[in-house]
C-alpha cells in the first residue's frame, strides 16, 4: 500500500520503502490492538513509529548506503534531511485510514 501511495505522489518508489512500509503497517496493526487508547493517541504513537522508521531507514539507505531514496533538506524543520515536520504531520493523518485497514484485516481473519 505504501509503495502505491508513494508511486502515485512521486511517480516512483524504491524497493526498500516496501519493506519499511510493511514494517510500519505491522507496527500500526499492533498499536491498533492496544485497548484503552483513544484514536488520537494511537495516531500520535503511530506517527512516532513511522517517523522513527523513516529516520532509521533514511540513515541506512540514504546516508550509509548512498542510495538517495529521498532528501528532505529543502523542507523545514528537518533532521539531517531524513525526516521533517511536514511529513511527520502527514504520517499522523495517514495513520487514521491505516488503522481502519487494520480493523478490516482483523475482521477478515476473525481476530476482532
Give residue 111's pLDDT. 64
Give residue 112's pLDDT. 59
Domains of the chain, residue spans: 2-108
Give residue 7's pLDDT. 79
- If you write DSSP's letter for every residue of 31-89 in order, what string do you get? HHT-TT--HHHHHHHHHHHHHHHHHHHHIIIIIIS-------TTSSSEETTTEEHHHHH
Query: pTM of the entire structure?
Result: 0.89
Residues of the chain with pLDDT under 70: 1, 111-112
Give residue 74's pLDDT. 95
Q: What is the pLDDT of residues 8-31, one digit of tens each?
A: 777 888 888 889 999 999 999 999
Amino acid at each position: 500500500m505504501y509503495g502505491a501511495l508513494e508511486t502515485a505522489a512521486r511517480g516512483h518508489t524504491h524497493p526498500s520503502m516496501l519493506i519499511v512500509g510493511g514494517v510500519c503497517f505491522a507496527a500500526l496493526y499492533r498499536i491498533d490492538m492496544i485497548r484503552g487508547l483513544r484514536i488520537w493517541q494511537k495516531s500520535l504513537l503511530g506517527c512516532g513509529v513511522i517517523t522513527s522508521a523513516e529516520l532509521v531507514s533514511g540513515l541506512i539507505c540514504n546516508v550509509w548506503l548512498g542510495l538517495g531514496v529521498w532528501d528532505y533538506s529543502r523542507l523545514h524543520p528537518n533532521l539531517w534531511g531524513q525526516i521533517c515536520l511536514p511529513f511527520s504531520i502527514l504520517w499522523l493523518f495517514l495513520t487514521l485510514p491505516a488503522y481502519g485497514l487494520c480493523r478490516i484485516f482483523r475482521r477478515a481473519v476473525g481476530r476482532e
